[in-house]
Amino acid sequence: MAEKRCYYEVLGVSRTATEAEITKAYRTLAKRYHPDRNIGDEEAKIKYAEVDEAYSVLSDPNKRARYDRYGHAGVDSSFAASGMEGVGVDLGDFFGDLIGSFFGGGPRRARGPRRGESIAALLEIELVEAATGCSKTFTVPSEQNCRDCGGSGARLGTQPASCRRCRGQGYEVLNTGFGITTRMRCRGCGGRGSVITDPCPTCRGSGRVTLTEEVTVNIPPGVPNHAVFTYPGRGHAGDPGAPRGDLELRIQIRDDKTFQRDGHNLLCRQTISFPRAALGGTFEMTSLTGEKILVEVPRGTQSHTTVVRVPGHGMPHFDDPQRRGDLLVQLIVETPTHLTPEQEELYRQLAALEGLSPPPPKKGIFSKLKDLVSGENPPKEEKK
C-alpha cells in the first residue's frame, strides 16, 4: 500500500495556514478533481478522495492538532482505542506513570470504559436540494461490539486469562537506570491485565465487528456548503458499557449547470435578442426550483453588463427559510448568425439610418447561375 502523503502537501498549504486558506485550497482542488467533471478518470477519483480526506482532518481543530502532533497515526480510527500501541508504548501513559512513580503515586488508575469514536461522513446533494431541503438515506460502516462474545473477544462460555507478563496487574516495572524504576503499561496485554486464549470465531478475538447501517437524515432548506451535522450515538461503538460515538455528516453541494450560489443569492445568465435588448420588454424563464418567472429587460440593455434582480427567487436563509435571497440575471445579447431575407433587409435599413454602408448581400449558388444565364455577369475572355 502506498504511503499517505502529508495532508498539507495534498492541499498545497503551509502548516501555519488559516482555516480560510485551507477551505479555499480544498474548494479549488475538489472542483478540479470532482468525479462529475472527470468521468472515467480513475486518477482524478483517487486525487479527489485524497483531497477530501485531507480537508476532513485539517478543517477539524481537534483532528488537526492530533495530526500535527502524531501524524497520520493521530487521526487513524484506532488511535484513541489503541493508545498508540502500534509504536509499543502509550506515550501519555508512559510519562504519566513515570511522573507518578517519581512522586510515589504509582501508575495511573485504569480509565473506565471508553466512549466510541465518531464517524466522519460526506454527503453530496444537488443545489436544488439545498434550496428546497431533502431527505437522504445512505449506508454507514461502523465498528460495533461483537454480539457473540459481548465485546470481550473470548469465545462464548470462556473468559480471558490473566496476563503472564504482568501477572494481571496491567503494568510492567521498568528500570530506567541510576536505581530509578517506574511502571508502564504492559505490552503483552495493553494494560488490560488479561489476554484472549480462546478467541471468539466471529470477531477473531478483537471483540469488534464491522457492520453497515442505513441512516436517513433530513437536510433543511438553505443548508450552506460544507455544513456539518452531528447525530449522537450513530458512530463507532465504545467499550462494553460505554456509549457509541457520533456521526459527523458534512454536506457538499454539487455545482449546478445553470445557477451559481452567492450567499443567499443565485446568479445565472440568459441570452436575449438584439431587438429586445434595444427596445426592452420581458421574457419568461424557469427558476432553480422549477417556477416560471418573468424577467424585465431594461430598454437599451448592454450585453454582459446589465444584471436584472428578481427579488425572492434566491436561496432561503438557513436560520429562517421564510426569507429568501434574490435571483440575479446577467443578460447576454445574442448576435444572429442566420437571417431571413426580411430580417436582413430590416437590418440594412437600420444600418442606412445610422449612416453605415453594409456590404452587398452574399449570393447563393442559384443566384450566381441565374446571373450567368441572364448575362449580367458574363465570363471574362481568356488572355491569348
> 50-75 pLDDT, tens per residue?
988 889 889 888 788 777 776 776 67
Give ∠ CA 214-215-217 in degrees, rounded to 5. 155
pLDDT of residue 204 exceeding 70:
yes
Q: Identify the CA nearest to 185 among candidates 166, 202, 204.
A: 166
Dump pLDDT digits (tens) for 250-265: 999 999 999 999 999 9
Burial, 205: exposed, middle or buried (Cβ in 10 Å; 0-12, 13-18, 19+)? buried
Q: What share of the chain is helix, strand, coil (3-state, %, to 5)?
A: 30, 25, 45
Residue 359 or residue 198, greater confidence:
198
The span from the CA of 221 to the CA of 218, in Å, is 10
Find residue 185's DSSP bridge partners: 171
Average pLDDT score, the chain = 82
Please compute the mean of the pLDDT values over residues 290-314 and round it to a whole number: 95
Please, which pLDDT band fits residue 110 given cuts at 50, 70 and 90?
Answer: very low
Say yes or no to pLDDT of 86 above 50: no
Q: List the grid coordinates of 14.
A: 503551509
Segment 133-141 shows an average pLDDT of 94
Contacts of 132 (CB under 8 A, 6+ apart): 221, 289
Residues 248, 119: Cα–Cα separation, whole Å:
6
Q: Please compute the mean of the pLDDT values over residues 173-193 and round it to a whole number.
A: 75
Section 301-317 average pLDDT: 95
- Judge whether 317 and 327 are in contact, CB under 8 Å: no
List beta partners, residue 75: none
pLDDT for 98 beyond 90: no
What phi and psi, each to the nearest 5 degrees, are found at residue 8?
-65, -35
Residue 285: band (very low, low, confident or very high) from pLDDT cuts 50, 70, 90:
very high
Beta strands per DSSP E along 85-164: 119-125, 134-145, 161-162
| pLDDT for 99 | 46
> Which pLDDT does position 380 carry in this prediction?
54
Please give the average per-residue pLDDT across 176-195, as a whole number.
76
pLDDT of residue 83: 41
Rounded to whole angstroms, the Cα distance separating 130 from 253 reads 7
3-class SS at 18? coil
Q: What is the pLDDT of residues 320-363, one digit of tens each?
A: 989 999 999 999 999 888 888 898 888 888 888 888 777 777 66
Helix (H, G, I), strand (E, B) or coil at 218: strand
Q: How high is the pLDDT of residue 355?
A: 82
pLDDT at position 368? 55
Whether 377 shows a pLDDT value over 70: the answer reads no
Neighbours of 265 (CB within 10 A): 16
Among positive and negative, which fits the CA dihedral 284, 288, 291, 296? negative
Q: What is the pLDDT of residue 278?
A: 92
Strand, coil or helix: 172: strand
**Residue 311 contacts residue 325 (beta carbons within 8 Å):** no
**Residue with C-alpha cell 470532482?**
34
| pLDDT reported for residue 109 | 44
Distance CA 204, CA 198 (A): 9
pLDDT of 247 higher than 60? yes
Per-residue cell: 293? 418567472
Other CB atoms within a 10 A radius of the CB of residue 195 amount to: 20
What ranges make up the beta strands (E) of the chain? Answer: 119-125, 134-145, 161-162, 171-177, 180-185, 194-195, 208-219, 228-231, 247-253, 260-262, 265-273, 281-286, 292-297, 307-310, 327-334
Q: Lowest mean pLDDT: which of 6-20, 41-55, 56-70?
A: 56-70
CA-only gyration radius of the chain, Å: 35
Half-sphere exposure of 48 (CA within 13 A, CB side): 17
Helices (H) and strands (E) in the chain, counts: 10, 15
10 Å Cβ neighbour count for 306? 17
Dihedral (Cα; 206, 211, 216, 218), 10-degree rounding: 30
In the predicted structure, residue 36 carries a pLDDT above the cut 90 = no
- Average pLDDT of 193-197? 84
Higher pLDDT, 107 or 236: 236
Element (H, E) at 58: helix 42-58
Q: What domains can you pick out in the chain, each with its CATH number?
A: 1-76 (1.10.287.110), 260-334 (2.60.260.20), 336-384 (no CATH)
Using the predicted structure, report yes or no on whether residue 101 has a pLDDT greater than 60: no
- DSSP code of 45? H
